[in-house]
Amino acid sequence: MKIARAELYYAITLTADDDSNVVFGTHSQWAGYSDPEKLTEFRKARLVYPTYVMLWEGLGEPYCIVHDADEATIFLLAGGHALVEKTLAEQLFSELLKPEASFRDGVAGFKSSTMFPKSAFKRAPSPKVRMQVLKRDNRRCRICGRRPDDHTDLELHVHHIRPWSKGGVTDIANLITLCHTCHKGLEPHEDYTLFDYLTPDATNTQEAKLNGFLKEVANYRKVGVFPSA
């Protein structure tokens, strides 16, 4: 489909997580602080040019271009990525494009506060969240690789990579398993390179991202945005 290079769009993504929660995402920009002390932000949707699709193409992720109501209906049914023409997007998604209080998600992303579970805003991980992190990390320290099965003196801690005091949430994407020795010896204690330990091997990163995205789109198509009759 041919599109005017100077035309402006919103980059919108519709997916769903494994718990059937619909996730609405946009390319966003800073719009102020919601909590200056913790540096949590307001984020609002940002307009983009058509060349934005090069990002999705580089990842091999499918997308569509939306200019009218019929194309918007297809997008709402199918989910995934879309460039939605500015005026149409502001008509259809006006509430969702407004600034929202947001928290950092993982190493570089942002997520609306409404998309986190309530447990994410409590400093101590719940037993359920702690076990999710331990299982993901194979019950090993992510730095030294030791585990209690092999070392009876070992104590595993669940550590906030982005500190709680600086807006880090108690969410699995911001938590990592460390043994008591590595945790105590962290220098600096605020070490964002720990996110690298949660990233798949570089040779599989793009494939992993694509497979993860396609799974989330498949989840969305099971749920959809239109309630069942």
54 & 80 share domain: yes
Count of domains for the chain:
2
b or e along 184-218 (b: 16 or more beta carbons within 10 Å of the residue's beta carbon)?
eeeeeeeeeebbeebeeeeeeeeeeeeeebeebbe
Q: Are 168 and 104 in contact (CB under 8 A)?
A: yes
190 & 82 share domain: no
pLDDT in tens, 17-38: 888 888 889 999 988 887 777 6
In a domain, 3, yes or no: no
Q: Is the pLDDT of residue 105 over 50?
A: yes
Domain that includes residue 63, residue range: 9-107+205-223
Query: Which among 171, 176, 181, 172 has a CA at the least distance from the CA of 196?
Result: 176
Q: Is the pLDDT of residue 115 over 90?
A: no
86 & 141 share domain: no
Q: Cα separation of 229 and 207, whole Å?
A: 37
Q: Is the dihedral of CA 173, 58, 204, 183 positive or negative?
A: negative
Q: Cα separation of 141 and 54, whole Å?
A: 38
74 & 149 share domain: no
pLDDT in tens, 55-85: 999 989 999 999 999 999 999 999 999 999 9
66 & 136 share domain: no
Q: Cα separation of 53 and 122, whole Å?
A: 37
pTM over 0.85: no
Q: What is the mean pLDDT of residues 93-118?
A: 86
36 & 103 share domain: yes
